[in-house]
Amino acid sequence: MKVLLLKDAKEDDCGQDPYIRELGLYGLEATLIPVLSFEFLSLPSFSEKLSHPEDYGGLIFTSPRAVEAAQLCLEKNNKTEVSKIGLDTEGETCGNAEKLAEYICSRESSALPLLFPCGNLKREILPKALKDKGIAMESVTVYQTIPHPGIQGNLNSYYSQQGVPASITFFSPSGLTYSLKHIQELSGDNIDQIKFAAIGPTTARALAAQGLPVSCTAESPTPQALATGIRKALQPHGCC
């Protein structure tokens, strides 16, 4: 059974995308199609802020692109000052903005603001949650999300060769926005046969807002959880 994942391919230590491997364990043939691209912004400004760690109580990373932006700044300027800022990676395990805010509040003791490198599509939930708890935060937009230039061509190729997939998984609301029109046009009347899956609750709400039935929302944003959920959804009368 063929399933489509709208994400970039990322090989692990075994040389294979973990989502493809996990779905394959259930006999599902997964194809990955990227729908998002990213452009870095304001790196000189961000680099300047990183060069003054004494001005901040910590760094908050909520996306891989923000981490990449920090790496670019440090590599370009051969700086290591970021290591002096109180970055705590355990916060990455928090499931949503409210929980992350609670975690930060429990660990944050500095009166200095936290530095939050983010994208142009960031939501205001985390900044508001921290503000409500009296924790200062300074946001800096370091990347913007744009449609992948190959969306339409890659989807056309997939549908012409593979047909309508049994399931399509969306990994972000912006990915849904940029790809949905093409999917609707290519699927036609067969779109009702597709089980739509979401990597998390925010994306699931975006699907529902578009009037699409959500057959599966992964219990956690991991290959294992998504594979388990899709397998259940594709079973007769399945839902997860």
Neighbour count for residue 156 (Cβ, 10 Å): 13
Q: Would you state the pLDDT for residue 127?
A: 85
Token code pair at residue 111? 């009166």
Q: Which fold has domain 2-35+149-234?
A: Rossmann fold (3.40.50)
CB 42 within 8 Å of CB 118: no
Q: What would be the CATH architecture of the domain defined by 39-146? A: 3-Layer(aba) Sandwich (3.40)
Token code pair at residue 31? 């194809």
Tally of CA atoms within 13 A in the half-sphere of 202 that contains its CB = 12
pLDDT digits over 224-236, tens only? Answer: 999 999 999 998 7
Q: Would you state the pLDDT for residue 105?
A: 61
Most confident of 68-82, 109-123, 181-195: 181-195
Listed by start position, the domains of the chain span 2-35+149-234, 39-146
Q: Would you state the pLDDT for residue 123?
A: 79
CB 234 within 8 Å of CB 195: yes
| Predicted TM-score of the model (pTM) | 0.76
CB 2 within 8 Å of CB 31: yes
Q: Would you state the pLDDT for residue 89?
A: 35
Site of tokens 């807002």: 209
Site of tokens 């093409």: 182
